[in-house]
């Protein structure tokens, strides 16, 4: 781990209801939906941790108490252990638990607060000049250390990771009523928001309140002031908005294709 980033906060938006994944989120918050054996949130935190980021601020909302309970009882969820009842209150001996060098702040940011409002609400927990931020439902192999360093060097107030996505359909080109070429699942030339950000503390001045969607008003103001940078990522990226996307991620785990795990020979996340 790189000690350079140990105290840089990583803000993770965990408060949405995840309605497009209702099959799962009617019972648990979206960040606790499992990819493989562990919640997607843990995969995300392991990725940041690999690059040396150890301080997390979780913006809670919908069923946030379940995220608190998960981490308070994490060792019990993932480890074999022996319970020594003869010790009265019950002593626990863990056999396969690897503690993480993480500090996690659990911040209640409201049930209906929008993404920008959630960022605004955790301002009091940000003491560093810059902080990372992401959603609780996206996986990538983005180089977080490079992203952070580019942001700091740029003087921007915000840096967005941009990606090029393949289309869902094949691309057809035609001439005089005949197909001249066909490309299966071409890559879009336009870039989309990849959801991995770095912000300077000045970004809080661009968010007005709970009702602000981060990607709307605040980002437009940053762009208008020419204070929003971009980091282009050409590697793996996958969101988990729908059950189909969750199924695909789980299939990748079953097949051993997990590019978001930087070193696949290390322990599985959360074990």
Q: What is the CATH number of the domain that holds 247?
A: 3.90.550.10
Say if residue 185's pLDDT is above 70.
no
Question: For the residues 36-54, what does the mean pLDDT come to?
Answer: 95
Asked whether residue 14 is assigned to any structural domain, the reply reads yes
For the stretch 192-206, pLDDT in tens is 899 999 999 999 999
Flag whether 242 is in a domain. Answer: yes
Residue 71 has pLDDT above 70, yes or no: yes
Q: How many domains does the chain have?
A: 1
Per the domain annotation, does 182 fall within a domain?
no
pLDDT band at 191 (very low <50, low <70, confident <90, very high): confident
In a domain, 202, yes or no: yes
Residue 118 has pLDDT above 60, yes or no: yes
For residues 155 and 146, give the distance between their C-alpha atoms in angstroms, rounded to a whole number: 15
Asked, for residue 150, whether it belongs to a domain, the answer is: yes
29 assigned to some structural domain: yes
Residue 186, domain member (yes or no): no
Gyration radius of the chain's alpha carbons:
20
| 185 part of a folded domain | no
Sheet holding 158-163, edge to edge: 103-108, 55-60, 9-14, 130-135, 192-200, 158-163, 228-232
- Residues 154, 136: Cα–Cα separation, whole Å: 26
Task: Please tell me the distance from the alpha carbon of residue 228 to that of residue 154, in angstroms, as a whole number.
Answer: 10
Residue 106 is part of which domain span?
A: 3-81+95-163+191-254
pTM: 0.88
A 10 A CB-CB count for 179 gives: 9
Query: Which parts of the chain fold into alpha helices (H)?
Result: 22-25, 40-50, 64-72, 74-78, 115-121, 144-154, 217-224, 243-254
What is the predicted pLDDT for the residue at 23?
87
- Phi, psi (rounded to 5 degrees) for 107: -115, 120
């Amino acid at each position: 781990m790189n000690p350079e980033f140990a105290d840089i906060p990583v803000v993770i938006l965990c408060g949405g209801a995840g309605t497009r994944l209702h099959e799962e989120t009617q019972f648990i918050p979206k960040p606790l939906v499992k990819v493989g054996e562990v919640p997607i949130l843990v995969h995300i935190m392991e990725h940041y941790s690999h690059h040396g980021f150890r301080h997390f601020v979780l913006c809670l909302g919908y069923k946030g108490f379940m995220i608190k309970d998960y981490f308070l009882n994490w060792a019990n969820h993932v480890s074999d252990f022996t319970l020594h009842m003869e010790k009265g209150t019950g002593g626990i001996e863990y056999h396969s638990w690897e503690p993480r060098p993480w500090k996690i702040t659990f911040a209640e940011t409201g049930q209906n607060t929008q993404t920008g409002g959630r960022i605004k609400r955790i301002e009091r927990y940000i003491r560093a000049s810059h902080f990372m931020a992401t959603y609780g439902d996206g996986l990538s192999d983005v180089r977080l250390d490079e992203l952070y360093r580019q942001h700091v060097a740029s003087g921007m107030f915000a840096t967005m990771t941009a990606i090029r996505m393949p289309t869902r359909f094949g691309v057809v080109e035609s001439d005089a009523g005949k197909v001249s070429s066909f490309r299966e699942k071409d890559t879009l030339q336009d870039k989309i928001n990849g959801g991995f950000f770095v912000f300077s503390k000045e970004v809080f001045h661009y968010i007005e309140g709970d009702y602000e969607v981060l990607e709307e008003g605040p980002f437009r103001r940053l762009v208008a002031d020419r204070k929003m940078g971009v980091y282009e990522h050409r590697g793996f990226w996958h969101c988990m908005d729908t059950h189909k996307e969750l199924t695909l991620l789980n299939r990748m785990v079953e097949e051993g294709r997990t590019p978001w795990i930087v070193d696949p020979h290390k322990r599985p996340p959360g074990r």
